[in-house]
C-alpha cells in the first residue's frame, strides 16, 4: 500500500539537487541506451498536456528512432475527461496501446484488474540502476501497489494559485492576502467589484474541481482516506470546507458552475479575477500572450496543521496484453531519461520527478522555477487507492451543493464520509 | 379414392411443408433477433451476477449488484431524473410539433421550405447542437442570457443551476427533436380522409371541435407509435447530458444511461453497469406495455 505524505515530499524537495551535470548524466544515459537490439511496432497513448503534444512526442520518438532504429512507435492521445472510457475500451479489446501514460488517479484500478504489466523486474534490473536512482523513492511508492510496480514515474502536475498583483496591490492586500484564510477572504472581498471577482475555484465534477479543494483538506491534516485506507479520513476538514463554502456565499466568486476551467482562466487573463486556482500548464498561455497586469503563482494560506500544494503524478506503464514488452520497455527508458523528460516538461510546463535535472530546468521561466523549487516540496498527492476516482467523483456533488449554501462544512464532510465508507466497504 | 389415413398423412405433410417454408422465411429475422437482442439481453442478465469480466475474469457475486442497485441513492435519483426529463420533454415536443404540423398542413404555398427549416435541427449531430447551446445559454454572452438581461435584468445560470439544468437539457432535446415529430404528425394529418372534414364543416363543426373530436381520435395510431417510440428514446437520454452537464451540477442531471456509462467505463464496474442496464430494459418494457395496454383499451 502506498501513500504520498508531505514528509516524503519534503524529503524529495530537500533531495532536489542540481545540476547541469545532471543533464549531462542524462545525455550519457541516453547514449548508453543506444543498443539497437529490439525491433517491432509499438503504440503509445497519453493525454495531451499541450496543443502541440503530437509534435513534442514526435521529437522524443525521433530521438528514440536514432538509438533503436528497429522499433516503430505510433503515438496517439486520449481525452483527459474520458480517459477511463478510452483506456478501458482499449484494454477490453485485447489490443491496448503497448505504452500508456497513466495518472495516479486511474492506474491503481487498472493494475488491480490485471490490465498492466508488473514492471518490478524491469525497473529493478542492474543495467538501469543508475537511472532508477534518479527517481526518488516517494515517486516509486506512488507507482507501487499490492507488491507490484506498475510504471515508471515521469511527470508531476501542480495545482497552484494565480494572483493578479495589480488588483491585490490596488486593494492594499498584496503582502497580506495569503497569511491566513481570513486574510484571503478579506482580500477577495476587497478586490471584488463590478465585473471583477476576488476569488475563483473550480466547482464542477467534470472539471476535476476536487484538485482545488484538496490542499485545504491537507492543510487541515486530513485526507480522503485514513492512513491505512480502511475508512474515510476527512474528519478535521470541516472548517476548511466551511471556509470555501463561505467564499462562495460571500459573492466574491463567479456564479457556481457557470464556467469551465478554461473560462475561469480566460477571465483571470482578462484581469477579472484577483485570486485564481489553476494549473501550471496555464503558465505557458500567460507567457505566450502576457496579460496587461502583473501576475504571480502562489499557494493557499496555511491551515491548521500545514501549508500544502496539491499535485498528481503520471507514470509510464506497459499493458499486460502488449505483445512487444521488450520494445515498450526500451521506449519507456528513453522517454523517462533526463534529456527527454526534461525537455518535454519544459515544453508543457510540468514538473519532473527526476532529481538530477531539476536545477537546470525552466531558464527564463521564473514562475515555473518557483513552482519546481518552492511548491513541489510542499506537494501532497492523491492516495492511489483503486477506487480513488470513484470516491472523488462520488463525493464531489456534495461539495457542489455545499458551495451553493445547501450544507455546512460539517454536513458536507459527514455526507462525504458516508459515501467514502460505503465505497471502500 | 384416398383413405382417411391417407388424407391425414397428406394434411400433416402439407402443414409441415407450410411451417417449414414459414420458418425458412423467418429464420434470418429470428437469427438476427437472437444474435443481437436475445443473446445480449441474456448476457447482460448473467453479467449482473458477476464482477469484472471486461479487463479481468468474471467472478460470480450472487445478488450483490442487485443489492447495491436498490441501495444506491444515485440509482434512484438517476431513474427519477430520467422519468422527470421524459415527462418534461415528451409532452412539450408533442405539443409544439402538433401545433407546427397543423400550421404546416394549412399552408398552401412554400410548405416544403418551412418543412426543411423545421427539420433542420434534427439533422444536427447532438454534439454540434449541444455545443451550440453552450453558446446560446452562456451566462455572459449567450443570446438567451442577453435577452434575459434585457427583460429581467439578471442573467440565468441555465446549466449551472441544479433546478434549471434538467429542464434546460429537455429544452435542447425538444429543439432538436421537434422537426422529426412535426413531420411525423404532418404525415399523419395528410393521411386523414378529407371527406370527413368537409362533411363536418358542412355540419357546422368549428376548427376546435374538428381538432378535438376528429383529428386527435383519428391520429390515435400515430400517437400510439409516437408515445412508445418517444418513451424508448427518451428513457435512454445520454449524449446531451454527457456533453452539456456530465450529470452535474450536484448530480441534478444524472440519468440512468449516464450512470450506466460511468459504472462501465469510469468506475470499471461492468457487473453493476449491467444490472443498471437491465433495470432500464425492464423499465422501458414496463412503460411500453402500459402504453400498449392503454391504447388498446381505447381502440
Which pLDDT score is estimated for A26? 42
- Asked whether the beta carbons of residue A258 and residue B52 sit closer than 8 angstroms, the reply is no
Per-residue DSSP letters for A61-121? HHHHHHH-TTEEEEEEE--GGGHHHHHHHHHHHT---SEEEEETTTHHHHHHTT-B---HH
DSSP A205: G
A390 is written with which cell numbers?
Answer: 470513484
pLDDT reading at A20 higher than 70: no
Gyration radius from chain A CA atoms? 21
Region B121-135: what's the mean pLDDT?
Answer: 87
- Which of B54, B142, B155, B249 should be substituted to probe chain A, the one whose Cβ sees the most A Cβ atoms within 10 Å? B249
Tell me the pLDDT tens digit for each residue of B141-150: 889 989 988 8
**Position with higher pLDDT, A173 vs A425:** A173
User: What are the pLDDT digits (tens) for B245-262?
Assistant: 989 898 999 999 999 999
The ipTM estimated for the assembled molecules is 0.79
Q: Which residues of chain A lie closer than 8 angstroms to B268, CB-CB? A: 84, 88, 109-110, 113
Mean pLDDT taken over chain A: 89
Mean pLDDT of the B109-120 span: 89
Per-residue model confidence (pLDDT) at position A28: 39
Note the pLDDT of residue B276. Answer: 94
H/E run at residue A274: strand A273-277
Average pLDDT over residues B93-112: 91
Examine the pLDDT at A9 and tell me if it is beyond 60: no
Distances (CA, A) of A348 to A219, A260, A344: 28, 21, 6
CB A321 within 8 A of CB A226: no
Per-residue pLDDT, A34? 47
Q: What average pLDDT is seen over chain B?
A: 90
- State pTM to two decimals: 0.83
Distance (Å) from the alpha carbon of B268 to chain A's nearest alpha carbon: 8
At A373 the pLDDT is 85
Q: How far is B264 from chain A (nearest CA, A)?
A: 8
Q: Residue B134 pLDDT more than 90?
A: no
Q: For the stretch B227-249, what's the b/e string if a residue is b when 16 or more beta carbons lie within 10 angstroms of its beta carbon?
A: bbebbebbbebbbbbbbbbbbbb
Distance between CA B61 and CA B79 in Å, rounded? 24
Q: For residue A82, what pLDDT is reported? A: 85
Name the closest residue on chain A to residue B245, using Cα atoms: A206
Q: Which residues of B touch A (CB under 8 A)?
A: 52, 54-56, 74, 139, 157, 159-162, 245-251, 261-262, 264-268
Per the listing, cell 511496432 goes with A41
- CA distances for A357 relative to A119, A303, A334, A340, angstroms: 24, 32, 15, 11
A210 to chain B nearest CA, in Å? 13
* Cell numbers found for residue A270: 482578462
CATH topology of domain A6-156+311-380: D-Maltodextrin-Binding Protein; domain 2 (3.40.190)
CATH no. of B64-298: 1.10.3720.10
Q: What is the residue extent of each domain of chain A?
A: 6-156+311-380, 159-309+388-424
Share of chain A above pLDDT 70, in %: 92
Please list every residue in chain B whose beta carbon sits closer than 8 Å to the beta carbon of residue A111.
none
Measure Cα distances from A381 to A395, B96, B169 in Å: 18, 52, 36
Domain boundary assignment for chain B: 4-47, 64-298
Could you tell me the three cell numbers for A163? 494572483
Answer yes or no: is pLDDT of B270 > 60.
yes
For A397, which of B160, B250, B265 is closest by C-beta distance?
B250
CA distance B269 to B53: 9
Q: What is the mean pLDDT of residues B126-152?
A: 87
Strand partners, A193: A196
Are the folds of A6-156+311-380 and A159-309+388-424 the same? Answer: yes
C-alpha closest to that of A145 among A121, A110, A175: A110
When pLDDT is cut at 50, 70 and 90, the band that residue B298 belongs to is low
Transcribe chain B into DSSP letters: ---HHHHHHHHHHHHHHHHHHHHHHHHHHHHHHIIIIIHHHHHHHHHTTEE--SSS--EE-TTHHHHHHHH-HHHHHHHHHHHHHHHHHHHHHHHHHHHHHHHHHH--SSHHHHHHHHHHHHHS-HHHHHHHHHHHH-TTT-HHHHHHHHHHSS---TTTSTTTHHHHHHHHHHHHHHHHHHHHHHHHHHTS-HHHHHHHHHTT--HHHHIIIIIHHHTHHHHHHHHHHHHHHHTT--HHHHHHTTT-STTTT--HHHHHHIIIIIS--HHHHHHHHHHHHHHHHHHHHHHHHHHHHH-
Residue of chain A whose alpha carbon sits nearest to that of B241: A206
Which of A82, A88, A401 is nearest residue B55 as measured by Cβ atoms? A88
Q: Is the pLDDT of residue A94 over 70?
A: yes
Written out in words, the top-level CATH class of the domain with range A159-309+388-424 is: alpha beta
Report chain A residues touching chain B, CB-CB < 8 A.
81-82, 84-85, 88-89, 91-92, 109-110, 113-115, 203-206, 255-259, 387, 389-390, 393-394, 397-398, 400-401, 404
pLDDT higher than 80, residue A60: yes
Amino acid A295: pLDDT: 97
* Among candidates B52, B162, B266 on the partner chain, residue whose Cβ is nearest the Cβ of A393: B266
Q: What is the pLDDT of residue A141?
A: 87
Pick from A270, A319, A397 the residue to mutate for testing the B interface (most B CBs within 10 Å): A397
Query: B55 and A92 in contact by Cβ < 8 A?
Result: yes
Asked if B265 and A85 come within 8 Å (Cβ–Cβ), the reply is yes
Chain A partners of B246 at a C-beta cutoff of 8 Å? 81, 204-206
Query: How confident is residue A36, by pLDDT bands cut at 50, 70 and 90?
Result: low
User: For the segment A317-339, what is each residue's pLDDT rounded down to a tens digit?
Assistant: 999 999 999 999 999 999 999 99
The yes-or-no verdict on residue A67 having pLDDT over 70 is: yes
Mean pLDDT to the nearest integer, B12-35: 93
Using the beta-carbon criterion (under 8 Å), do A401 and B162 form an inter-chain contact? yes
Mark yes or no for CB contact B249/A393 under 8 Å.
no
Amino acid at each position: 500500500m502506498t501513500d504520498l505524505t508531505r514528509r516524503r515530499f519534503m524529503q524529495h524537495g530537500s533531495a532536489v539537487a542540481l545540476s547541469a551535470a545532471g543533464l549531462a548524466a542524462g545525455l550519457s544515459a541516453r547514449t548508453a541506451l543506444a543498443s539497437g537490439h529490439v525491433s517491432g511496432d509499438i503504440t503509445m497513448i497519453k493525454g495531451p498536456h499541450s496543443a502541440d503534444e503530437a509534435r513534442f512526442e514526435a521529437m522524443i520518438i525521433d530521438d528514440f528512432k536514432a538509438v533503436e532504429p528497429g522499433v516503430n512507435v505510433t503515438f496517439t492521445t486520449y481525452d483527459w475527461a474520458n480517459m477511463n472510457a478510452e483506456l478501458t475500451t482499449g484494454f477490453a479489446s485485447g489490443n491496448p496501446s503497448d505504452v500508456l501514460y497513466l495518472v495516479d488517479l486511474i492506474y491503481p484500478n487498472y493494475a488491480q484488474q490485471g490490465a498492466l504489466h508488473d514492471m518490478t523486474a524491469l525497473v529493478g534490473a542492474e543495467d538501469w540502476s543508475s537511472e532508477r536512482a534518479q527517481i526518488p523513492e516517494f515517486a516509486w511508492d506512488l507507482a507501487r501497489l499490492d507488491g507490484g510496480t506498475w510504471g515508471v514515474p515521469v511527470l508531476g502536475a501542480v495545482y497552484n494559485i494565480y494572483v493578479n498583483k495589480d488588483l491585490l496591490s490596488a486593494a492594499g492586500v498584496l503582502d497580506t492576502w495569503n497569511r491566513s484564510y481570513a486574510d484571503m477572504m478579506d482580500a477577495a472581498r476587497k478586490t471584488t467589484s463590478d465585473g471583477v471577482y476576488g476569488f475563483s475555484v473550480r466547482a464542477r465534477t467534470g472539471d476535476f474541481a476536487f484538485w482545488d479543494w484538496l490542499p485545504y483538506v491537507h492543510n487541515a491534516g486530513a485526507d480522503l482516506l485514513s492512513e491505512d485506507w480502511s475508512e474515510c479520513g476527512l474528519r478535521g476538514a470541516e472548517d476548511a470546507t466551511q471556509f470555501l463554502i463561505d467564499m462562495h456565499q460571500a459573492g466574491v466568486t463567479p456564479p457556481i458552475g457557470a464556467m469551465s476551467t478554461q473560462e475561469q482562466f480566460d477571465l483571470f487573463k482578462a484581469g477579472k479575477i484577483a485570486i485564481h486556482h489553476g494549473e501550471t500548464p496555464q503558465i505557458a498561455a500567460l507567457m505566450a500572450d502576457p496579460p496587461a497586469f502583473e501576475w504571480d503563482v502562489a499557494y493557499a494560506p496555511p491551515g491548521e496543521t500545514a501549508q500544502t500544494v496539491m499535485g498528481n503524478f503520471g507514470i509510464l506503464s506497459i499493458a499486460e496484453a502488449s505483445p512487444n514488452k521488450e520494445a515498450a520497455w526500451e521506449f519507456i527508458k528513453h522517454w523517462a531519461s533526463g534529456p527527454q523528460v526534461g525537455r518535454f516538461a519544459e515544453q508543457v510546463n510540468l514538473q519532473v520527478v527526476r532529481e538530477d535535472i531539476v536545477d537546470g530546468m525552466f531558464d527564463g521561466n521564473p514562475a515555473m522555477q518557483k513552482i519546481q523549487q518552492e511548491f513541489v516540496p510542499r506537494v501532497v498527492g492523491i492516495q492511489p487507492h483503486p477506487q480513488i476516482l470513484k470516491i472523488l467523483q462520488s463525493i464531489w456533488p456534495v461539495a457542489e451543493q455545499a458551495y451553493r449554501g445547501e450544507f455546512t462544512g460539517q454536513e458536507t464532510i459527514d455526507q462525504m464520509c458516508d459515501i467514502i465508507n460505503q465505497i471502500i466497504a | 379414392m384416398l383413405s382417411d389415413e391417407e388424407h391425414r398423412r397428406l394434411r400433416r405433410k402439407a402443414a409441415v411443408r407450410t411451417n417449414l417454408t414459414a420458418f425458412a422465411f423467418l429464420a434470418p429475422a429470428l437469427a438476427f433477433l437472437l444474435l443481437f437482442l436475445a443473446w445480449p439481453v441474456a448476457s447482460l442478465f448473467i453479467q449482473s451476477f458477476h464482477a469484472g469480466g471486461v479487463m479481468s475474469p468474471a467472478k460470480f457475486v450472487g445478488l450483490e449488484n442487485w443489492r447495491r442497485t436498490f441501495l444506491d441513492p444515485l440509482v434512484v435519483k438517476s431513474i427519477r431524473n430520467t422519468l422527470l426529463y421524459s415527462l418534461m420533454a415528451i409532452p412539450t415536443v408533442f405539443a409544439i410539433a402538433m401545433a407546427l404540423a397543423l400550421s404546416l398542413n394549412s399552408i398552401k404555398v412554400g410548405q416544403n421550405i418551412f418543412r426543411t427549416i423545421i427539420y433542420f435541427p434534427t439533422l444536427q449531430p447532438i454534439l454540434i447542437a449541444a455545443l451550440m447551446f453552450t453558446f446560446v445559454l452562456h451566462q455572459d454572452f449567450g443570446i438567451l442570457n442577453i435577452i434575459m438581461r434585457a427583460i429581467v435584468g439578471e442573467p440565468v445560470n441555465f446549466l449551472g443551476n441544479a433546478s434549471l439544468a434538467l429542464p434546460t437539457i429537455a429544452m435542447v432535446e425538444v429543439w432538436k427533436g421537434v422537426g422529426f415529430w412535426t413531420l411525423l404528425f404532418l404525415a399523419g394529418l395528410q393521411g386523414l380522409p378529407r371527406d370527413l372534414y368537409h362533411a363536418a364543416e358542412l355540419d357546422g363543426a368549428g376548427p376546435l371541435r374538428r381538432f378535438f373530436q376528429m383529428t386527435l381520435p383519428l391520429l390515435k395510431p400515430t400517437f400510439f407509435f409516437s408515445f412508445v417510440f418517444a418513451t424508448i428514446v427518451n428513457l435512454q437520454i445520454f449524449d446531451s447530458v454527457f456533453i452539456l452537464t456530465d450529470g452535474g451540477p450536484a448530480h441534478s442531471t444524472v440519468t440512468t444511461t449516464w450512470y450506466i456509462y460511468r459504472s462501465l467505463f469510469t468506475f470499471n464496474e461492468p457487473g453493476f453497469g449491467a444490472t443498471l442496464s437491465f433495470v432500464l430494459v425492464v423499465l422501458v418494457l414496463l412503460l411500453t406495455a402500459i402504453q400498449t395496454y392503454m391504447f388498446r383499451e381505447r381502440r
